């Protein structure tokens, strides 16, 4: 029986930067902003500030407009 402080069974969640839905981290697309460009991080290991977006077409279309609001 795991104790209360155990992380057993914990599933990390992140929020889509566009629609703000909380989704399992593995189901989201991670990207970073390098030199004012959106770079998708398939291996999720780039050493920059990571952002997450769901792979819904509406969210992906709004991503460019969102990037113009964010300071990189």
41 C-beta neighbours (distance < 10 Å), count: 15
Class of domain 13-69: alpha beta
8 pLDDT tier (thresholds 50, 70, 90): confident
Angstrom distance (rounded) from CA 72 to CA 35: 8
Which sequence spans correspond to the domains of the chain?
13-69
Choose between 48 and 72: higher pLDDT.
48
Task: Specify the pTM.
Answer: 0.83
Angstrom distance (rounded) from CA 30 to CA 12: 14
């Amino acid at each position: 029986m795991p104790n209360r402080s155990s992380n057993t069974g914990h599933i990390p969640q992140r929020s889509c930067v566009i629609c703000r839905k909380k989704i399992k981290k593995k189901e989201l697309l991670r990207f970073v902003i390098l030199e004012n460009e959106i770079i998708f991080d398939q291996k999720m290991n780039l050493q920059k500030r990571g952002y997450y977006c769901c792979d819904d077409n509406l969210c992906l279309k709004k991503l460019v407009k969102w990037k113009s609001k964010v300071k990189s």
